[in-house]
Structure 1
Amino acid sequence: MKKILQIIKKITLIPHILVYYYSWNKSDIDKDLNRWATAKNIQKSNTGLLLHFLAVSPDFRTLFYYRTRSLTSHILNLYCRKQNNFTIDVTTKLAGGTLTGHPYCTILNANSIGENFYVNHLVTVGEVNGKRPTIGNNVSIYTGAIVIGDITIGNNVKIGAGTVVVKNVPDNCVVVGNPGRIIIK
Structure 2
Amino acid sequence: MSYEPDKHHRRTIRLEGYDYSQSRAYFITMITHKRVPFFEKTTIRRIVENCWLAIPSHFATVSLDEWIIMPDHFHGIIIIAGDVHLDAPAEDARDPHNRFSTISPKRNTLSVIVRTCKSAVTTQCRRMGQVEFKWQRNYYERIIRDEYHMHCTRQYIINNQSNEPV
Q: TM-score, normalised by structure 2?
A: 0.29
Q: TM-score, normalised by structure 1?
A: 0.26
Determine which structure has greater relative contact order: mean sequence separation of CA pairs < 8 Å that are 6+ residues apart, divided by chain length. 2
